[in-house]
Structure 1
């Protein structure tokens, strides 16, 4: 595609957004009914601010969902230590709840505006960010163009690009170059990601590693942990986390295959808890007894499946076991989910073969011996059984996972160093602000 056609395509995209803008209100209302939008904060999606802008330097940071939000928490805290205000946008209700519970006093949270001319112009004009730092894989053309028009540096951190996305962007090379060349800096997770961003027109690009390796383990309610450990008693456990449709059926198959041998409790944590009713129905039809976290059900000796259908309690589920299968890897054609949290919480990690989204992390874990790849349900059942009956092998995988995590640390310091040309001037400016006026203006 020529550069002229690329400009035409991007113009058509922006024009389509303008034409369809009158339908945005009904669209957001529909999503709110489905529970996918916060009804009381829908105007934020149209670029209307619900909080005042503090005086002084402000960086707009965007994380699409829960995983990206967790990944950039250490970076957010580093910028706050430098007295830079953080406007954090997210795109889901779940991630907004996470921000409220873990970052409420450290950031100004807004829902990300739709990638349409009027909401984006309104949002940027009000907040006047000194820089924009994003941590997601999507590229939003209208947002990119508006920030570039206002000469606001656009920086992508913890950046990765999947096989599918890379192939798609390469098919529209001129559009990709037009957008990616507007980035002031890309800090990529791996050498492969960096090479791909350069091929698409981004420059400069550096490699930092995965910021998720520098995050703290997910929190856990110690009272709940003690309660469930008491209820589980001496039973063996394993967990299947971040599962997608098709994988819950595989988990049920594994549980039935091993129940007579091990009498284990299976902990099942779907990636989308709103599917819990359908999952419970499927499990009961398979003859399994289910306890649900959302109902605060007790775990009895008869409980087959502990269904973890709650938000923000992954730390609890992972500390109830030492064996964790990570989903979106067995039934999905492409994907994988983050294996770092189970590794840092002392679990031997199992995964299906589809791990493209976390290829680098899995390579480190597998090379050190902290993770194993299974190709199908039968192999998963054999791996779970082997780890349950072989304490030495399980302990060796757990220790190897810790070692791999230690090797992967350091992404935060590399990222901060790469950002210094952009954040050091803001730090100086922030520290020159009158303290009393800044504190008064920052009231949210």
Structure 2
């Protein structure tokens, strides 16, 4: 039981007196038959992970899902695009305001059987009424910062009244675990887990093409500049020349970010004194070719399987940013990147800390990093560390799925 139920009563009274009724259920939408799991995030950044959980619940368990986000996040086009790109399209709604009428209308309309709350931004009225209705609550990546509550954090005892409502909490660090424990969540309900991540996308590959190209490349050392913008070509060419001094016959694979820039890249590489073979013209990575230029990023999965070392383009100073690093990590590549890590700063930081990636500032440092990682033992150690980081979030997703199943079966009630 919460230690401070009077704080919840006082907060409910204050919320009832407020004029803001935003978030009420007014459009007639509602749930269908069968089980429904309510998934909420305090930000759209966790949407891919929740979509992965929703897809698994529907595919493996036949359970439908409702997704909620803060109203301003739910209205962004990126959220609609994320839903449209998924294998399933669960309902996406703005989370109701704390006004009691809006909360009750939401719960009456959807009648969820279990709930997962990701992040902080806890809403006292909403969670308390859900708990009183017998809804088992699971907190994932909770208490990431001192602002645990979305509203009412100034009210004494309110956090301690809300946090114990959760049947289980998965948190990413001891600081977060301690914060929840101080708010009254029993230690046996708290589990330390890696950050929640959707399983990395395994990029496809034509296996016959891979075998043929691998036979042509043979024992030559090889590295990849993936998703490369034209603006970074000169630095990548300089890096290749530097690394080639220590690795005779070194082959560079380039997958241009923009296929239309392929001809300009070929000219630039030739002017830099590098012999280029163009895949778009049917050429192959023959022995005398220093660079094999692909015709876009559509075969990135193929190039990652051929190159044990990969620089992910767009990340050098002034670059536009790059693709998610876990795609490459999932295929066993040792990764290199520049300082421009947005929008995947968190993922790159975890890879760097674990030794699964190397950060460079310019073409010279890129060349030295390539030279170092061409040593098989170093590339293997880095690739293994990257693999571990890229897949550990999927383990957390598995555990969250297990907890939802337990909640639906009544074990967490």
TM-score by length of 2: 0.59
Deviation at 1:123, TM superposition (A): 2.1
Deviation at 1:177, TM superposition (A): 1.9
**Alignment partners' CA distance in 2, 1:13 and 1:383:** 57
1:400 aligns with 385
1:102 aligns with 86
Deviation at 1:149, TM superposition (A): 4.4
Deviation at 1:72, TM superposition (A): 5.7
Deviation at 1:413, TM superposition (A): 4.4
**Alignment partners' CA distance in 2, 1:300 and 1:235:** 21
Give structure 2 stretches of 5+ with no counterpart.
214-221, 242-251, 269-296
Aligned residues: 336
Deviation at 1:65, TM superposition (A): 2.2
Contact 1:186/1:206 (<8 A) preserved = yes
Deviations 1:173-220 (A, max 9, x none): 7332232222232122344432332223334222344442xx432265
Deviations 1:244-294 (A, max 9, x none): xxxx9xx97x87655544489999xxxxxxxxxxxxxxxxxxxxxx965xx
2:356 aligns with 370
2:65 to 86, 95, 104: 86
Q: Does 1:387 align with 2:369?
A: yes
**Alignment partners' CA distance in 2, 1:167 and 1:358:** 25
Look up the SS of the partner of 1:132 in the other structure. Answer: strand
1:346 aligns with 332
Look up the SS of the partner of 1:98 in the other structure. Answer: helix
Q: Does 1:54 align with 2:39?
A: no
1:284 aligns with none
Deviation at 1:56, TM superposition (A): 2.7
Contact 1:48/1:123 (<8 A) preserved = no
Contact 1:326/1:350 (<8 A) preserved = no
**Alignment partners' CA distance in 2, 1:353 and 1:200:** 38
Q: Does 1:113 align with 2:95?
A: yes
Look up the SS of the partner of 1:302 in the other structure. Answer: helix
CA gap 1:348/1:155 in 2 versus in 1, 3 angstroms: same
**Alignment partners' CA distance in 2, 1:237 and 1:13:** 55
CA gap 1:111/1:381 in 2 versus in 1, 3 angstroms: farther
**Alignment partners' CA distance in 1, 2:95 and 2:13:** 19
Look up the SS of the partner of 1:103 in the other structure. Answer: coil
**Alignment partners' CA distance in 2, 1:315 and 1:144:** 45
Q: Does 1:302 align with 2:265?
A: yes
1:280 aligns with none
Contact 1:58/1:85 (<8 A) preserved = yes
1:415 aligns with 400
Deviation at 1:128, TM superposition (A): 0.9
Contact 1:319/1:345 (<8 A) preserved = no
Look up the SS of the partner of 1:187 in the other structure. Answer: strand
Contact 1:208/1:414 (<8 A) preserved = no
2:217 aligns with none
**RMSD over aligned Cα, in angstroms?**
5.3
- Pairing 1:188-203 to 2, within 5 Å after superposition: 188-203=171-186
**Alignment partners' CA distance in 2, 1:396 and 1:236:** 18
- Pairing 1:272-311 to 2, within 5 Å after superposition: 297-302=260-265
**Alignment partners' CA distance in 1, 2:160 and 2:170:** 17
Contact 1:49/1:123 (<8 A) preserved = no
Deviation at 1:95, TM superposition (A): 3.1
Deviation at 1:324, TM superposition (A): 5.5
CA gap 1:391/1:125 in 2 versus in 1, 3 angstroms: same
Deviation at 1:398, TM superposition (A): 1.9
Contact 2:24/2:96 (<8 A) preserved = yes
Deviation at 1:387, TM superposition (A): 3.0
Give structure 1 stretches of 5+ with no counterpart.
25-44, 241-247, 268-289, 305-313, 332-336, 427-444
TM-score by length of 1: 0.56
Structure with higher helix content? 1
- Pairing 1:234-245 to 2, within 5 Å after superposition: 236-237=224-225
Contact 2:40/2:118 (<8 A) preserved = yes
Deviation at 1:126, TM superposition (A): 0.8
Deviations 1:375-408 (A, max 9, x none): xx74x66653323344234454223322555677
